[in-house]
Amino acid sequence: MQDQSRFDTLGRLEDLPLDYREELARQNLVPLWPSLRAVLPAGKPQPNTRPIHWPYETLRPLLMQAGELTPIEKAERRVLVLANPGHGLEKMQASAAMYLGMQLLLPGEWAPAHRHTPNAVRMIVEGEGAYTTVDGEKCPMSRGDLILTPTGLWHEHGHDGDGPVVWLDVLDLPLVYYMEASYHIDGEPQTVKPGRGDRAYARAGVVPTQVFQRSNKAYPMLRYPWVEARAALEALAADQPELEAVQVSYVNPETGTDAENILGFYALMLRPGQTLDLPVRSPAMVFHLIEGGIDVGISDNSFALAEADTCCAPGYTPVRLRNRSTNSPAFVFIADETPLHRKLGVFENRG
């Protein structure tokens, strides 16, 4: 057997004669060994994703300024992207697969219909009176609601209310872009069709059935009202006082599988004073605080999240969530890359 120590330091590019390196480059060839440890680091990945906190307090005035500086016709989607400097701001990535954006719609504005290959969801942060029409289904937007715009479905946003409306967009754009599969198509304003998934699937355990025929829609439910998700968490917490993680997953109510194909979405309730250590898993995560005040510890970083704040954590990293209040629960929206990792067979839970 070879002695492992003989492989501890590998040859560098500079060790090779210049004319040899130049000839390799001319032939579109690259020696592996100078880069082997970078692409296959020992023991665990070396993520570009850094733990980053985007406080809403600092983001909001800049978003409102965008509302003054850039009319909707010049933006189409008026969004400030929450970009992770670890990837380079211009990459517009929160993590390897996740994109985050805060979108502002002002009263009377309209963001025209389009559809695209990346999957999106919206988590409503502030304001009333706006709606998203997805696949002909008009979805009202209220704080904490989750609205899906899965791959390929037409969507447009409108606003009949009288204050600014802000929501958090979560897309798998970085992944789909990396795959060279990202594009959009512009469309005409949609005609709203009768029937709403959030009503048809309003009660867990029973699903609409057309004389023994279940829906064959890929995305039967597009809007997940916060009142329902919050009530589910409260009920779970009350029913199981010993339950450590009071968490629900946003799923397709027909199949029970993740609501979308690539990213996973969850809501978590932290009981008053609760500290929760999350298992160390391969997918990166995003935390958005819907209600309360929590501390998020991500390896050596600690972020004090206020309501509407957002932060991200790389994969393979210990994360600790702590509810700062000893009187009230806290409610967190989580997005992660679990469905992607599971489908690709690279998912790991290191406990």
By CB under 6 A, name the binding residues for ligand GTQ.
77, 79, 101, 103, 116, 120, 155, 169, 171
Task: Compute the least distance from the CB of residue 264 to ligand GTQ, in Å.
Answer: 19
Shortest reach from residue 102's CB to ligand GTQ, in Å: 8
CA contacts within 13 A on the Cβ side of 104? 23
Q: How far apart are CA 247 and CA 90, in angstroms?
A: 34
Quote the CA–CA distance of 20 and 29 in Å, as a whole number.
11
CA angle 139, 236, 351 (to 5 degrees): 100
Q: How far is the CB of 333 from ligand GTQ (least distance, A)?
A: 16
For ligand GTQ, the closer CB: 22 or 76: 76
Query: Closer CB to ligand GTQ, residue 118 or residue 339?
Result: 118
H-run or E-run covering 66:
helix 56-69
Residue with Cβ nearer ligand GTQ (147 or 332): 147
Is the CB of 60 or the CB of 116 nearer to ligand GTQ? 116
- CA atoms of 333 and 58, how far apart (whole Å): 20
DSSP H helix total and E strand total for the chain: 7, 23
Which residue, 155 or 230, is less far from ligand GTQ as judged by CB? 155
CB of 171 to ligand GTQ, least distance (A): 6
Give 169 or 309: the residue with its C-beta nearer to ligand GTQ.
169
Closest separation in Å from C-beta 94 to ligand GTQ: 12
Helix or strand (DSSP H, E) at 68: helix 56-69
Residue in the structure block whose two tokens are 């380079």:
88
Q: Tell me the closest approach of the beta carbon of residue 181 to ligand GTQ, in angstroms.
A: 15
Q: What are the backbone dihedrals phi and psi of residue 192, each rounded to the nearest 5 degrees, phi first?
A: -75, 130
Instruction: With beta carbons less than 8 A apart as the criterion, state whether 152 and 184 touch.
Output: no
